[in-house]
Amino acid sequence: MPKVTRRFRTRLGLISAAPLLLAACSGGSDGGNAPTPPPTPANRAPAFTSSPTASVDENATGTLYTFAVSDPDGDTVSVSVVPGGDEAAFNIDTTARTISAAMPLDFEAPADANADNVYNITLEATDPGGLTARLELAITVDDVVEGMTVARVGTGFTQPLYLAGLPGTSQVVVLEKAGHIRVLDPATGVIDAVDFLDVSGETSAAGEGGLLGLAFSPDFASDRTFYINMTNNSGDTEIRRYQMFSGSLTQADPATADVILTFDQPQANHNAGWIGFAPDGLLVVPTGDGGGAGDPNGYAQSPNSLLGKILRIDVTGDDFPADDARDYAIPSGNAFTGASGRPEIFALGVRNPFRCSFDEVSGDLFIGDVGQGAVEEVDRLSMSDAGTNFGWNIQEGTQDYSGADRAGLVDPVIEYTHGSGMTQGQSITGGYVYRGNLELIKDHYVFADFVSNNVWAVPVDDLGPDRTVFGSEFLRINGSLRPETGTVESISSFGEDNDSNLYIVSILGDVFRIQADQP
C-alpha cells in the first residue's frame, strides 16, 4: 500500500523570562508584572483521509474517485497534482476533489505508463503555513465482460472458511472457523437455525487452526457419512468421521464422532485444512509443513513425517485395528512402504496447501500452496504420480529457497510474486476448474489472493506438465465480480454446490455465487 509522507515544521513562540519593568506615571500603576502571553500553537500538517487505492470498471464515466483531506487546525487546504504520473488520463478537480476519466479507460488498450492498467496519481495538500501531505493514489482499471456477475447469497457468518454442496439438496454447508457447520439456502439467503454440526467446544481456533475442511462420502446417499478436518483443543490436526441423524439431511449426529487420523502440529500455523475424495474413492489429505519460517525442521522433505505432504488413505478399511487413532487402510500405489517412510504419503514438498480441489474432468488435484516470502503457487497432481515432489523447502515455486534446483522436483503450473499489483498478492486461495456454462471462465482454473483481493482465471489447457504460467498471463476477473450488495474481498475459499455453480467465501462473513448476468 502506498505510504503517505507527512513533513512537520514546528513554530515556537519565544517568550522573555525577564519581568516587564513599568515606568511610574500619573494615573497610577498595577504595581506588578504583566501576565505572560501564551505560546503560539504549533502548526500541524494536513492529512489525506481517503483510500490510496481504487478499482474502476473499464470505460466507466462520471466521477471515478473522490479524495478527502483534512487539517487538524481547521485551516483551509489547497490541493495540487504532482507531475510525473498518469494524471494526463484524468480530469482532476482540486476544488471539488474529484477525479474522472479524460478518455475512455480501455482495459485491452491501457494508457498508463506501465501498460498494466494501474494508473498512478500523486496529490499534494498544502496548508497556509506551508506544511504538506501527499497521497500516492493507484487507480486500477478492471476488465468487464458481458454475461457474468456475482451475487451475494448469504451473509452473517462468523469467519467462514469453506463451502460445499449438501448432497441430496439444493442447499450448501458453510464451515465457520470456530467450529460450526451451518446450512444455507442460496435461493433465499436463509441460514438454518440449527447447526449441521457444532464442534466448537472441541476446536482450537488459535492462529490458523479451527474447523478447516469437510468432505462428504462418495456414497453419502447410502452410508450418510462425512469427514472433517479440524484442530483439537491441543492444536493438533484431527480427521474425523461422522454420520447423520436418521431421517435427516441437515443434521449430523455428534455422538458418531470417530477420529480416524491425528497428528501433532508443532505451531499454530500452516495447518492446511482442505480434504477431498479422489475419483477412485480414496480420501486425500494435504498437510502443512508444521509452521515456522522456511520449514526449520525440514518436515516437508522428510519421508518420516506426515507434515508438508499429500496423504492418501482408504477410509473403508482399517490396517491398524489396535490403534484407535488410525482407522483407515493404506491403498496400494502410495509413495512409501515399510521402513522407507510413512505409508500414508502420496506426494511431498508442499508448504501450506490451504485450499485444493479435484477437476471433475481430468481427475487431477489442483493445490493452492501458500508461499513463504516471495512466491505463491498452484501445483497439479495426477493420481497416478505417486512420489511427486513439489520442492518445498528447497524451492519456493520456481525459485531457489534453501538449495539449488535438482532433478526430480516438480515446478508449479501457476506462479505469481508478492506485491500489490494486478497480478500479485501475498497469500493464495486455491480454487476450482470451472466446468459450467459461463463463457468467460469456462474450462478455466479460477483462484484468488486473500490479501490483494485479486481474482484470476487461467485456461486449464495451459496448465500442463513442464510449463509454469506466470502472472502476466492471468485473466483478472474482478471487474465482473461487483455484487449489488457486499464486496468480494478477503477470500478464504471457493466452493461448489451440487450443480457445479462456483461460490466465493469471504472470511468477513459473506457468501457469493458467480452466475450469469441478468438482462
The reported pLDDT for the residue numbered 144 is: 81
Tell me which DSSP letter residue 392 carries: T
The reported pLDDT for the residue numbered 28 is: 43
Under-70 pLDDT residues of the chain: 1-33, 519
Confirm if 374 and 383 have CB atoms less than 8 A apart: no
Torsion angle defined by CA atoms of residues 333, 338, 340 and 341, in that order, rounded to the nearest 10 degrees: 80
Q: What is the enclosing helix (H) or strand (E) of 221?
A: helix 220-223
- Report the largest interatomic distance among the alpha carbons of the chain, rounded to a whole angstrom: 116
Q: Of 187, 236, 245, whose CA–CA distance to 210 is shortest?
A: 236
Q: Of 201, 217, 164, 148, whose CA–CA distance to 355 is shortest?
A: 164
For the stretch 430-477, pLDDT in tens is 999 999 999 999 999 999 999 999 999 999 999 998 899 999 999 999
For the stretch 274-303, pLDDT in tens is 999 999 999 999 999 999 999 999 999 999
The Cα–Cα gap between 318 and 306 comes to: 18
The reported pLDDT for the residue numbered 40 is: 75
The Cα–Cα gap between 211 and 273 comes to: 8
Query: Does this model's pTM top 0.85?
Result: no
The reported pLDDT for the residue numbered 333 is: 96
β-pairing, 469-470 vs 414-417, is parallel
- Cell 476450482 sits at which residue? 432
The Cα–Cα gap between 123 and 81 comes to: 5
The Cα–Cα gap between 438 and 515 comes to: 7
The reported pLDDT for the residue numbered 519 is: 63
The Cα–Cα gap between 351 and 393 comes to: 8
